[in-house]
Amino acid sequence: MSSRNGSPTGSREQKDERGIERLGPVGEDNLLEWEAVINGRGVGCGYDSGRWRLTIAIPPAYPLQPPKLVFATPVVHPNIALQTGEICLDLLKDAWTPAYSVLECVRAVRMLLGCPETDSPLNVDVAALLRQGDVLGTRRLVECWCADEGGRYDGP
Protein backbone atom coordinates (compact mmCIF):
# COMPACT_ATOMS: atom_id res chain seq x y z
CA MET A 1 0.00 0.00 0.00
CA SER A 2 1.51 3.35 -0.94
CA SER A 3 0.47 6.96 -0.99
CA ARG A 4 0.15 9.14 -4.09
CA ASN A 5 3.77 10.22 -3.89
CA GLY A 6 4.92 6.60 -3.84
CA SER A 7 6.01 6.44 -0.22
CA PRO A 8 4.56 3.66 1.90
CA THR A 9 1.62 4.58 4.07
CA GLY A 10 1.64 3.83 7.76
CA SER A 11 0.57 0.55 9.21
CA ARG A 12 -2.34 2.34 10.93
CA GLU A 13 -4.37 2.32 7.70
CA GLN A 14 -3.61 -1.34 7.18
CA LYS A 15 -4.62 -2.14 10.76
CA ASP A 16 -7.87 -0.20 10.30
CA GLU A 17 -8.73 -2.18 7.19
CA ARG A 18 -8.07 -5.52 8.92
CA GLY A 19 -10.22 -4.41 11.86
CA ILE A 20 -13.21 -3.53 9.70
CA GLU A 21 -14.33 -6.76 8.08
CA ARG A 22 -17.49 -5.49 6.39
CA LEU A 23 -19.15 -2.12 5.85
CA GLY A 24 -22.03 -1.26 3.57
CA PRO A 25 -25.77 -1.24 2.93
CA VAL A 26 -27.78 -4.17 4.30
CA GLY A 27 -29.68 -4.54 1.02
CA GLU A 28 -30.00 -2.92 -2.37
CA ASP A 29 -33.46 -1.48 -1.75
CA ASN A 30 -32.61 0.76 1.25
CA LEU A 31 -29.32 2.62 1.12
CA LEU A 32 -29.96 4.31 4.48
CA GLU A 33 -29.60 1.05 6.47
CA TRP A 34 -26.03 -0.17 6.73
CA GLU A 35 -24.12 -2.62 8.85
CA ALA A 36 -20.52 -3.14 9.80
CA VAL A 37 -18.61 -6.05 11.26
CA ILE A 38 -15.53 -5.11 13.24
CA ASN A 39 -13.01 -7.09 15.24
CA GLY A 40 -10.76 -6.20 18.13
CA ARG A 41 -7.43 -7.42 16.74
CA GLY A 42 -4.74 -4.99 17.84
CA VAL A 43 -7.13 -2.84 19.90
CA GLY A 44 -5.89 -4.13 23.26
CA CYS A 45 -7.66 -3.81 26.62
CA GLY A 46 -8.89 -7.41 26.30
CA TYR A 47 -10.86 -6.86 23.07
CA ASP A 48 -8.40 -8.62 20.74
CA SER A 49 -10.51 -11.77 20.32
CA GLY A 50 -13.80 -9.90 19.98
CA ARG A 51 -15.96 -9.52 16.88
CA TRP A 52 -19.09 -7.36 16.71
CA ARG A 53 -21.84 -6.35 14.32
CA LEU A 54 -22.99 -2.74 14.26
CA THR A 55 -26.15 -1.37 12.70
CA ILE A 56 -25.86 2.00 11.02
CA ALA A 57 -28.86 4.23 10.32
CA ILE A 58 -28.03 7.02 7.92
CA PRO A 59 -30.42 9.96 8.31
CA PRO A 60 -31.95 11.57 5.21
CA ALA A 61 -30.08 14.79 6.12
CA TYR A 62 -26.66 13.03 6.00
CA PRO A 63 -23.96 14.41 5.87
CA LEU A 64 -25.41 17.37 7.76
CA GLN A 65 -26.48 14.96 10.53
CA PRO A 66 -24.37 12.08 11.83
CA PRO A 67 -25.21 8.44 11.21
CA LYS A 68 -26.51 6.48 14.20
CA LEU A 69 -24.26 3.54 15.02
CA VAL A 70 -25.41 0.89 17.49
CA PHE A 71 -23.75 -2.34 18.58
CA ALA A 72 -26.05 -5.22 17.63
CA THR A 73 -23.69 -7.60 19.41
CA PRO A 74 -23.47 -6.94 23.16
CA VAL A 75 -20.12 -5.50 24.26
CA VAL A 76 -18.74 -4.72 27.71
CA HIS A 77 -17.35 -1.17 27.64
CA PRO A 78 -17.92 1.95 29.76
CA ASN A 79 -19.07 4.00 26.76
CA ILE A 80 -21.44 1.39 25.31
CA ALA A 81 -24.82 0.49 26.81
CA LEU A 82 -24.84 -3.27 27.31
CA GLN A 83 -28.60 -3.71 26.80
CA THR A 84 -29.17 -1.32 23.87
CA GLY A 85 -25.79 -1.05 22.16
CA GLU A 86 -25.94 2.76 22.28
CA ILE A 87 -22.52 4.38 21.87
CA CYS A 88 -21.36 7.49 23.71
CA LEU A 89 -18.89 9.16 21.36
CA ASP A 90 -18.67 12.91 20.71
CA LEU A 91 -18.02 12.35 17.00
CA LEU A 92 -21.49 10.82 16.66
CA LYS A 93 -23.13 13.73 18.47
CA ASP A 94 -21.84 17.23 19.23
CA ALA A 95 -18.49 16.98 17.42
CA TRP A 96 -20.04 15.85 14.12
CA THR A 97 -19.17 17.75 10.95
CA PRO A 98 -20.06 16.86 7.35
CA ALA A 99 -16.35 16.28 6.71
CA TYR A 100 -16.59 12.88 8.42
CA SER A 101 -17.60 9.74 6.56
CA VAL A 102 -19.37 6.59 7.72
CA LEU A 103 -16.04 4.75 7.45
CA GLU A 104 -14.40 7.28 9.77
CA CYS A 105 -17.24 6.82 12.26
CA VAL A 106 -16.74 3.04 12.28
CA ARG A 107 -12.98 3.54 12.72
CA ALA A 108 -13.63 5.90 15.65
CA VAL A 109 -15.99 3.40 17.31
CA ARG A 110 -13.40 0.65 16.93
CA MET A 111 -10.71 2.93 18.37
CA LEU A 112 -13.02 3.75 21.31
CA LEU A 113 -12.78 0.11 22.41
CA GLY A 114 -9.12 0.60 23.32
CA CYS A 115 -9.57 4.13 24.71
CA PRO A 116 -12.43 4.05 27.22
CA GLU A 117 -13.65 7.33 28.68
CA THR A 118 -15.03 7.09 32.22
CA ASP A 119 -16.38 10.65 32.46
CA SER A 120 -19.64 9.96 30.62
CA PRO A 121 -20.28 6.22 30.93
CA LEU A 122 -23.26 4.30 29.61
CA ASN A 123 -22.08 1.22 31.51
CA VAL A 124 -21.43 2.56 35.02
CA ASP A 125 -20.25 -0.80 36.39
CA VAL A 126 -17.35 -1.12 33.95
CA ALA A 127 -16.54 2.58 34.37
CA ALA A 128 -16.42 2.09 38.16
CA LEU A 129 -13.83 -0.69 37.76
CA LEU A 130 -11.63 1.62 35.69
CA ARG A 131 -12.10 4.58 38.04
CA GLN A 132 -10.98 2.37 40.92
CA GLY A 133 -7.83 1.55 38.97
CA ASP A 134 -8.75 -2.09 38.38
CA VAL A 135 -7.41 -2.24 34.84
CA LEU A 136 -6.51 -5.94 35.11
CA GLY A 137 -9.99 -6.82 36.42
CA THR A 138 -11.58 -4.87 33.58
CA ARG A 139 -9.35 -6.60 31.04
CA ARG A 140 -10.25 -10.06 32.40
CA LEU A 141 -13.96 -9.19 32.34
CA VAL A 142 -13.69 -8.08 28.71
CA GLU A 143 -11.69 -11.18 27.73
CA CYS A 144 -14.27 -13.48 29.31
CA TRP A 145 -17.10 -11.57 27.63
CA CYS A 146 -15.43 -11.75 24.21
CA ALA A 147 -14.86 -15.50 24.63
CA ASP A 148 -18.55 -16.11 25.40
CA GLU A 149 -20.79 -16.76 22.38
CA GLY A 150 -23.31 -14.14 23.58
CA GLY A 151 -20.65 -11.43 23.47
CA ARG A 152 -19.17 -12.33 20.10
CA TYR A 153 -20.63 -12.10 16.59
CA ASP A 154 -20.09 -15.35 14.72
CA GLY A 155 -22.02 -14.50 11.55
CA PRO A 156 -20.60 -13.73 8.12
The CATH code of the domain that includes 45 is 3.10.110.10
153 belongs to a structural domain: no
3 belongs to a structural domain: no
Q: Please tell me the total count of domains within the chain.
A: 1
Q: Which domain holds residue 22?
A: 18-148
Tens-place pLDDT, residues 68-103: 999 999 999 999 999 999 999 999 999 999 999 999
Number of Cβ within 10 Å of residue 16's Cβ equals 18
Q: Provide DSSP, 48-71.
A: TT-EEEEEEEPPTTTTTS--EEEE
1 belongs to a structural domain: no
Tens-place pLDDT, residues 30-62: 999 999 999 999 999 999 999 999 999 999 999
56 belongs to a structural domain: yes
b/e burial code for range 74-98 (CB count within 10 A of at least 16 → b): bbbbbbbbbeebebbbebbeeebee
Instruction: Give the residue numbers marked as catalytic.
Output: 88
Q: Do you know the residue count of the chain?
A: 156
Residue 8 CA to residue 50 CA, distance in Å, equals 29
12 belongs to a structural domain: no
